[in-house]
Amino acid sequence: ATNRTFTMLKPDAVEKGHIGAILQMINAAGFRIVAMKLTQMTTSDAETFYAIHKERRFFPELVTYMTRGPIVAAILEKENAVEDFRTLIGATNPADAAEGTIRKLYAASIGENAVHGSDSDDNAAIEGAFHFSGREMF
Ligand code: CMP
């Protein structure tokens, strides 16, 4: 069925000037952009967004990274969006990411991995609503 996923082009991808190239790949893979903006997460935003990782050793590093500069937040629509987008971005660790995936091409490390993709339909809805109001979704 047609459904939606949520993505962020993370601060490292924005800093390196990869917004255009990554959006090109997203379009070429058949995703429709439902919502999109350049925004910056506050510390409190990142702690809330990544609350599931709160007990992990990398949590402070993750919050510092995700708040250090602007991100592109977007909601994407397609058949099987959540799963197909995770295929397009590749494994969390770019060293394990398949050839041709966004992380293989643009991610520096497991921490600074260029792009986020929701892991379920429920999380896609929660994460999309975290960043966008109803009138920002088209
Ligand atoms: P993502 O899977 O989108 O969401 C959780 C993020 O935590 C992950 O991307 C990485 O940015 C970060 N992360 C996951 N594992 C590690 C790790 N071992 N060290 C540092 N950061 C990590």
* pLDDT tens per residue, range 22-78: 999 999 999 999 999 999 999 999 999 999 999 999 999 999 999 999 999 999 999
CB distance 96 to ligand 1 below 6 Å: no
Domain that holds residue 43: 2-136
What one-letter code names the amino acid at 34?
Answer: V
Q: What is the pLDDT of residue 6?
A: 98
Q: What is the domain-level CATH number for residue 7?
A: 3.30.70.141
Q: Is the CB of 111 under 6 A from ligand 1?
A: yes
Q: How far is CA 11 from CA 50, 98, 113, in A?
A: 15, 22, 10
Is the Cα torsion angle 44, 46, 51, 55 positive or negative in sign?
negative
pTM of the model: 0.97
Shortest-distance Cα residue to atom 12 of ligand 1: 111
Q: How many domains does the chain have?
A: 1
CA–CA gap between residue 102 and residue 87 (Å, rounded): 9
∠ CA 105-4-114 to the nearest 5 degrees?
Answer: 25
